[in-house]
Structure 1
């Protein structure tokens, strides 16, 4: 990128300090795109259009989680988690146990029971490595990665091993997802695309 290209960037894209952005800065960017996250002090944008497949899986799985959740537990999509001062990733879906707050813009890791990331080609590395590590380090007990095999969704489920502080795989699911945690859930994965 040359100096001429930098001159064309909107003012809000310049970090406010030499160490980069802080998590709270995301709430004060007036013209920022809708899907924006902070990873290690750097802004990350969704650069490719969302696919119908991704949208259907996120919507269907959010609805399934929300309708099967016990009272006091809610599933939402497209919210950020304030992991620490320099990290505020946006989860495709998160399940939380906090009182309703219509003005909330982020969740603490201690609020979150489950994070679900539905993989897009441009987010694959972040979802499978960066977020996997950051969510585990933050103590979020459950993490699901949804991949596309052919046109079918496949869910790879992980649980936090409290001794090591890392996620361990607990199963891969195609056709039907059935898990006892964070609450009993059964989802027909093929119905997500119907």
Structure 2
């Protein structure tokens, strides 16, 4: 992001951001836009391994909790305090049908978990390990799961807190047992994730 784009985005309203993102995403199908911390962020579409991680998790979630769906289509969420931000998680776990008629940017009130998988780009640390946990915690989303392909681990954030993001973080190295706390309530063996490391 250029300095000029950063300055301009700090003065944008959420409505203006949504209009810009809708237009730009129609014109350029290889990127998705987010608005977190008052700044516009760009996300490139994922590679094969990135997508396989989402499908691996979708399989385990559906098998353990058939009444839930792990949405991997890039569903946008209203995040941060007072819903002033917009994020497109890699995956969102919610009751089946929750996103019906909610549009591009859904209310996170019924979301049980958001998932991000690290990418091979320079912004992954700031975006996935710093900004996203803060934004998702402020929105009150119960669980944030970070599949960290750089560190070969999964970090489970729970107990959302508007001040710090999440009060509890458990890290499991790939190959260990991943426990997604309530309201998700799923245990998963992460051995298969070893093949998707960077």
TM range, normalised to the smaller chain? 0.7 to 0.9
CA RMSD for the aligned pairs?
Answer: 3.5
1:79-158 to 2 correspondence within 5 Å?
A: 79-83=75-79, 86-97=84-95, 99=98, 101=100, 104-122=103-121, 123-148=124-149, 153-158=152-157
- The match for 1:65 is 61
Q: Which residue of 2 aligns with 1:179?
A: 180
Using the size of structure 1 for normalisation, the TM-score is: 0.73
SS of structure 1 residue aligned to 2:54: helix
Tell me which protein shows more helix as a share of its residues. Answer: 2
Q: Could you tell me how far 1:20 is from its partner in structure 2?
A: 1.6
Does the CA contact (< 8 Å) of 2:112 and 2:183 recur in 1? yes
Asked if the contact 1:70/1:183 (under 8 Å) is kept, the reply is: no
Contact map agreement 1:139 1:165 (CA 8 A) in 2: no
What does 1:31-42 correspond to in 2, within 5 Å? 31-33=27-29, 34-42=31-39
Show structure 2 runs of 5+ residues with no match: none
Per-residue CA distance 1:75-133 (angstroms, 9 max, x = gap): 11222111256411110111123535277323212121111111124322111111111
Which has the larger displacement, 27-36 or 132-141? 27-36
How many corresponding residue pairs? 180
Q: Deviations over 1:8-45 (max 9, x none)?
A: xxxxx9xx998225254234544144422222343321
Give, in whole Å, the separation in 1 of the partners of 2:52 and 2:117.
10
Q: Which runs of 5+ in 1 are unaligned?
A: 7-12
Distance, in Å, in 2 between the alignment partners of 1:56 and 1:68 is 19
- Report if the CA contact (8 A) 2:159-2:166 is conserved: yes
Instruction: Report which of the two structures shows the higher radius of gyration computed on alpha carbons.
Output: 1
Q: 1:157 Cα shift?
A: 0.7
**Larger mean Cα displacement after TM superposition, 157-166 or 130-139:** 157-166
Matched, 1:46 2:38: no
